[in-house]
A and B are shown apart, each in its own frame.
Chain A
């Protein structure tokens, strides 16, 4: 795949709702305790990726190297967030292709609620 064609681009926004079902499945999978916190766990937004069409990730296998979640406000059950993913940059580092990408979630007022920056690696083709 020619990843360079996607550098600097952003996916179409997708509205994602934090439902009871989604949160409970996440808590079960991560051995988390329900109802202990009024907010969702901090790494929860990564599961939003499955609802967003990210062309540079299709049919690709990456290794996760670094991850940063930053919150302006915590996310609660029932929240709806408009989410996009952007490919900030990519570089070749030795035998690896390194992708820097960011998932952002905004509220109804178009204010950023969270960002999730990822650094992903794969062997360069």
Chain B
């Protein structure tokens, strides 16, 4: 692995399509059957053009950008996100990560995720700690 220094970019993560089946699977495992995630009419009733994926599904997907670091002895100390725009079922999702700070045994990664329709659907950071 390359030297971890502030300003370095992590390998981006790309999901070409967040399929309806993924959203249904997440609903099943989480018990979150909010109809805005699963039903066209319910989504439109609250102002969305079509069903949106669970925020926690996008957060779960985005966290995978640090998996290479977890394999070399880091664990997640803190993970923080703001959901800035909805991701519609069927859209692509791309996650970018940049090392913001390296201090002793802590590594802070800034993350930003974009969908097919929006360049900033989620922003946040992940703080990793060395085991």
Contact = CB atoms under 8 A, between A and B. Distances in A.
Interface in B31-84: 31-32, 34-36, 46, 54-57, 59-61, 63-64, 67, 70-71, 75-83
Contacts of B28: 25, 29
A30 B61 CA distance: 6
Contacts, number: 104
- Interface range, B side: 35 or more
A90 to B, nearest CB: 19
A42 B29 contact: no
A3 interface: no
Contacts of A65: 82-83
A33 B31 CA distance: 21
Contact of B56 (A37, A39, A67): A67
B79 A29 contact: no
Contacts of A49: 30-32
Interface in B1-44: 15, 22, 25-26, 28-32, 34-36
A68 B127 CA distance: 11
Contact of A47 (B30, B67, B71): B30
Contacts of A29: 22, 25-26, 28-30, 57, 60
Given A42-B79, A47-B31, A37 B61 contact: no
B126 interface: yes
A14 B35 CA distance: 26
Contact of A70 (B32, B54, B75, B77): B77
Given A36-B71, A42-B63, 10 more contacts: A22-B29, A25-B28, A26-B60, A29-B22, A29-B60, A41-B60, A46-B56, A63-B36, A64-B83, A67-B83
